[in-house]
Amino acid sequence: MTIAKKSFILIFLILLFDQIIKIWIKTSFYLGEEVPVFGHWFIIHFTENNGMAYGLEIGKDWGKLFLSLFRVLAVGLLGYILWKLFKKPSVRQGFILSLSLIFAGAVGNIIDSLFYGMIFNESQFYQVAKIFPTDGGYAPFLHGKVVDMLYFPLIYTHYPSWFPVWGGQEFIFFRPVFNIADASITVGVLIILIFYRKEILSSK
């Protein structure tokens, strides 16, 4: 099997899994609903964000539009780089598959941003959203919210009283809520930084 086929299969499976989970969460959970798994080590917690990975945000409507357009351009560039690398047998397959993880994750979140506002109504506290509602979606093209649901509060404790500024306040690690696409991007980046830093320079 060629590296191109391996890459396409990997991208397809991540996108499929990512979108199935997101659509299930969006149409089954009300905003803020959570279900503990394995105690409180892993929690399915439904939230949405307008911005970048792990809930980061920039601006409001204009920031959202800029971010969506930037994502589309960045994914287009990354797709072009992958296509060029498929034709270079000297490039290690692990590097290409790592880039494929990043590409799949980025596309997964772009799908939310581009289309979810048009195909779902607004998720609300104690009210589950519907897909393809008769009265239309909650936002126009490019303004959809990204669905997040994975929450791993691995450590829950409090800062010691003597700790500057935050003394006595609660401390939770890992606090951000994310999705499969975010995880795919993070894993791809980490693998490249650890194992394939030379390929970053040689592929330019």
Q: Give 8-60 as a 3 state SS string.
A: HHHHHHHHHHHHHHHHHHHHHCECCCEEEECCCCEEEEEEEECCCHHHCCCCC
With respect to residue 153, please indicate whether it lies within any of the assigned structural domains.
no
Which among 65, 29, 16 is positioned nearest to 148, based on CA atoms? 29
Peptide bond into 173 cis (omega under 30): no
Average pLDDT rounded to a whole number, residues 96-104? 97
**Does residue 109 have a pLDDT over 60?**
yes
More confident of the two residues 155 and 203: 155
In this structure, are residues 142 and 69 in contact, taking their beta carbons and an 8 Å threshold? Answer: yes
Is 135 known to be catalytic?
Answer: no
Which among 177, 176, 1, 185 is positioned nearest to 93, based on CA atoms? 1
With respect to residue 110, please indicate whether it lies within any of the assigned structural domains.
yes
Q: In which domain, by residue range, is 24 found?
A: 3-148+181-202
The confidence score (pLDDT) of residue 137 equals 95
Spatial strand order in the sheet of 42-49: 34-37, 42-49, 146-151, 177-178
Rounded mean pLDDT of the chain? 87
The confidence score (pLDDT) of residue 69 equals 85
How sure is the predictor about 63, in pLDDT bands with cuts at 50, 70 and 90? low
Is 148 known to be catalytic?
Answer: yes
With respect to residue 159, please indicate whether it lies within any of the assigned structural domains.
no
With respect to residue 96, please indicate whether it lies within any of the assigned structural domains.
yes
With respect to residue 133, please indicate whether it lies within any of the assigned structural domains.
yes
The domain total for the chain is 1
Which residue out of 18, 61, 112, 148 is catalytically annotated?
Answer: 148
How sure is the predictor about 51, in pLDDT bands with cuts at 50, 70 and 90? low
The confidence score (pLDDT) of residue 46 equals 97
The confidence score (pLDDT) of residue 164 equals 78
Which residue out of 61, 112, 135, 182 is catalytically annotated?
Answer: 182
What whole-number percentage of the chain has pLDDT above 70? 89
With respect to residue 160, please indicate whether it lies within any of the assigned structural domains.
no
Which of 29-43, 133-147, 150-164 has the highest average model confidence (pLDDT)? 133-147
With respect to residue 112, please indicate whether it lies within any of the assigned structural domains.
yes
With respect to residue 11, please indicate whether it lies within any of the assigned structural domains.
yes
Out of 27-41, 80-94, 147-161, 184-198, which region has the weakest mean confidence (pLDDT)? 147-161
Please enumerate in sequence order all residues whose Cβ is within 8 A of that of 24, keeping only pairs 6 or more positions apart, or say none. Answer: none
In this structure, are residues 31 and 47 in contact, taking their beta carbons and an 8 Å threshold? Answer: yes
Average pLDDT rounded to a whole number, residues 139-148? 92
In this structure, are residues 61 and 139 in contact, taking their beta carbons and an 8 Å threshold? Answer: no
Out of 19-33, 59-73, 122-136, which region has the weakest mean confidence (pLDDT)? 59-73
